[in-house]
């Protein structure tokens, strides 16, 4: 699932972060931990437990969308920016098994001012793509970020 020559560095986040996707302070969240790749993309190696299932043995479609959204958001965050989802498109070519190791990848495709077009995908241990998405994220201005309690860390 990881290339042995791949260099991945941990991304820092705030300890009091209650984000459903990555927040360590959210007891019912996914607790995703992202790593920064040398090319500026982000990677998360995780296993989604069966309490997030839709059909038995498979991750719920809404959780899959959340995983992709989180990877895209972290790709923007890797540039030191706080942004929120404006548009999200998801495709589900294959079911994502619960309780199995998966790899999330996210990267920025292009940016223009406060707009960031991003893509993400979910891969299984064999490198097959299970789901992918693309989105538009809008950078939150510092004043708004402070009001919503966003921490760029």
Q: What residues are annotated to the active site?
A: 69
With H, G, I as helix, E, B as strand and everything else as coil, classify residue 141: coil
- Contact yes or no for 137/83 (Cβ under 8 A): yes
Residue of 29, 42, 26, 40 whose CA lies nearest to 103: 42
Residue of 67, 62, 56, 59 whose CA lies nearest to 32: 67
Measured distance CA(109)–CA(149) in Å, rounded = 27
- Contact yes or no for 8/43 (Cβ under 8 A): yes
Residue of 9, 6, 33, 8 whose CA lies nearest to 19: 33
Measured distance CA(120)–CA(107) in Å, rounded = 6
């Amino acid at each position: 699932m990881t290339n042995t020559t791949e260099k991945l560095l941990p991304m820092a986040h705030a300890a009091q972060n209650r984000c459903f996707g990555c927040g360590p302070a959210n007891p019912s969240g996914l607790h995703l931990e992202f790593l920064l790749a040398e090319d500026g993309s982000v990677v998360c190696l995780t296993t989604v437990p069966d309490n997030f299932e839709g059909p038995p043995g498979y991750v719920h479609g809404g959780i899959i969308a959340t995983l992709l959204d989180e990877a895209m958001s972290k790709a923007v965050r890797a540039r030191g920016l706080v942004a929120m989802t404006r548009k999200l498109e998801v495709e589900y070519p294959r079911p994502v098994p619960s309780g199995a190791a998966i790899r999330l990848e996210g990267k920025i495709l292009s940016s223009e001012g406060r707009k960031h077009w991003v893509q993400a995908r979910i891969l299984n241990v064999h490198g097959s793509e299970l789901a992918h998405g693309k989105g538009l994220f809008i950078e939150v201005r510092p004043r708004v970020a402070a009001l919503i309690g966003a921490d760029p860390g």
